[in-house]
Amino acid sequence: MILYCVYTTATYDSFMIYKTTNIIILGLNVVYVVTAWICAITKRDMFVEFLLKLVDFDSKLQTMNIKVNYHRVHRKIMVQSLGRVGVLVVIIGTLAIIANLNGDTMIVEAMAYILLAMNSAVCHQTIELVKMLKIRFVILNKQINNLIEYFQKNKIGPVETKGTNKQLNTLNKICALHHHLSKLVKLFNETFGIVLLLMFGVSFVVIVITIFFFTANVQAGELYFMSLLNPILSNVTFVIDVVYVCDVCYSTIEEANKAGELIHKIDTEDHDIRDEIEMFSLQIANEQVEFNAAGFFAINYTLVFSVSFSHLPFNNKKKHNLFRIMF
């Protein structure tokens, strides 16, 4: 099937640049899908460990009389899943109609649709798992805010330690739970790092190539609606998913680091609590938690800007004549 698609693309009556880029995307599609399946099989134990540790975290939260609203989380996941599926059906259906009108080979086009669906599934899983961690970091930060409010209302002197035992115990638990979540972030990177690396790599290539074709068509002498609609629809899901994944990962790390700022707002003269605050602060500084793609780069807004500005050389006026020759 794969060799047939490559052969069909190579022998298709079109410009060489179309053939080359289509074969590149087809090759990336195969590598992406195969690697995702292999990682899903080989790293299933790590994924199960991640989920079990998440459940263990929630069990420890319950000892502090804190509960996660699972029904609300489940409802949001279902709504976003249905919305994502609906958007994919519309986009793939429209692309199939355009391909049929243009007389393209549907087997080759189907490979591109598989890439769209696969990439969307990987991004959706990543987003929801990272959100689970973010929700729990937010819960811990709320508990720190409760401690801040308590010590603002109750001024505790350096020798009045009797009334702060409960707060010290709470702070100890928050510190331990924060460390628990930080280790989950690292486990997430180990489990999904390779797949995320390929996801961003494939998205980068697809975004750059489609913007290249879109810009060339805009600068061409004659404009056709279908020739502009195709790259837009092919590109939109990749752009949205890249931005969404980076945004969720960035905001989660912001919540994780926010604890280091909040604990210094606890105003108390209790030596034990001050020692615990210092230890907590050092713990956060030493962990340096971040989401990354197999250690190659951090997943944050810097990555979004890199992808966004990567196509700017193609918009240079010096390329105008090259576009005219190729198209």
Containing domain of residue 223, as a range?
A: 2-326
CA gap 241, 124 in Å, rounded: 8
Name the pTM for this structure.
Answer: 0.84
CA gap 132, 60 in Å, rounded: 16
Which one, of 216, 210, 217, 212, lies nearest residue 231 by Cα? 210
Q: Which amino acid is at 105?
A: T
CA gap 245, 204 in Å, rounded: 14
Residues 204, 307: contact at Cβ < 8 Å? Answer: yes
Q: Which amino acid is at 143?
A: Q
CA gap 126, 118 in Å, rounded: 12
> Looking at residue 99, what is its pLDDT?
74
Count of structural domains, the chain:
1
> Looking at residue 327, what is its pLDDT?
42
CA gap 53, 263 in Å, rounded: 25
H helical segments located in the chain: 2-11, 16-42, 44-62, 70-102, 106-153, 165-219, 225-262, 271-287, 301-309, 320-326
Predicted confidence pLDDT, tens digits, the chain (327 residues): 444 444 444 445 455 555 667 677 777 778 888 888 899 899 999 999 999 999 999 999 988 888 888 888 889 889 999 999 999 999 888 888 877 766 555 566 677 788 888 889 999 999 999 999 999 999 999 999 998 888 888 766 555 555 567 888 888 999 999 999 999 999 999 999 999 999 998 888 888 888 777 777 777 666 666 667 777 887 888 889 999 999 999 999 999 999 988 998 888 887 888 888 889 888 888 888 899 998 888 898 887 777 666 555 545 543 444 444 444
CA gap 260, 20 in Å, rounded: 50
Residue 298 — φ and ψ, nearest 5°? -75, 145
CA gap 285, 191 in Å, rounded: 24
